[in-house]
Amino acid sequence: FQQAQAIVQRSLDSEAGIYALSFDQTGSRLITCEADKTIKFWKENETATPETHPIHF
């Protein structure tokens, strides 16, 4: 982040990398700061199952 007044760019991809992440005070949302200068808020999908959203490492 070279400038304090940088324009935030929309992004649909997370391919550039994540610089930082933290949970909010309630622990229900994850906040990520990404290399493409975006900040994203993530909320758990309570209806997800291992069958519908498998994890592949």
Q: pLDDT tens-digit profile of 5-52? A: 666 555 555 556 888 999 999 888 999 998 888 899 998 888 878 787
Note the pLDDT of residue 1: 41
pTM of the entire structure? 0.56
Q: Give the burial string for 19-38 (b: 16+ CB within 10 Å, else e).
A: eeeeeeeeeeeeeeebeebb
Closest to 4 in 3D by CA, of 34, 37, 35, 40: 37
Tell me the sheet residues that pair with 31: 22, 41
Which residue shows structure tokens 């935030």? 8
